[in-house]
Amino acid sequence: MSALPPVVDQQTWRTQLDELRKREKAATRELDAIAAQRRRLPMVEMPRYVLTGPSGPVSLAEMFDGRSQLIVYNHMWTDGQEWQCPGCTGFTSQFTRLNFLDNYDARFVIVTNGPIAEALAYKAKVGNTMDWYSSSDSTFGAEVDAGPGEGFGVNVFLRDGDGNVYRTWHTNGRGTEQLSHSFALIDVLPWGRQEEWQDSPDGWPQRPTYSGWAGSPDIARAYGESPTLLT
CA distance 68 to 107: 9
Type of residue found at 34: I
Per-residue pLDDT tens over the stretch 93-115: 999 999 999 999 999 999 999 99
Per-residue pLDDT tens over the stretch 205-222: 999 999 999 999 999 999
| Residue 110, SS3 per DSSP | strand
Give one DSSP letter per residue of 129-148, joined into a string. Answer: -S-EEE-TTSSHHHHTT--T
Q: How far is CA 181 from CA 13, 78, 84, 139, in A?
A: 27, 27, 21, 31
Res 231: pLDDT: 38
Per-residue pLDDT tens over the stretch 157-208: 999 999 999 999 999 999 999 999 999 999 999 999 999 999 999 999 999 9
Q: Is the pLDDT of residue 138 over 80?
A: yes
Mean pLDDT estimate for the chain: 95
Higher pLDDT, residue 225 or 132: 132
Closest to 180 in 3D by CA, of 93, 67, 81, 55 = 93
The domains of the chain, with CATH numbers, are 44-178 (3.40.30.10)
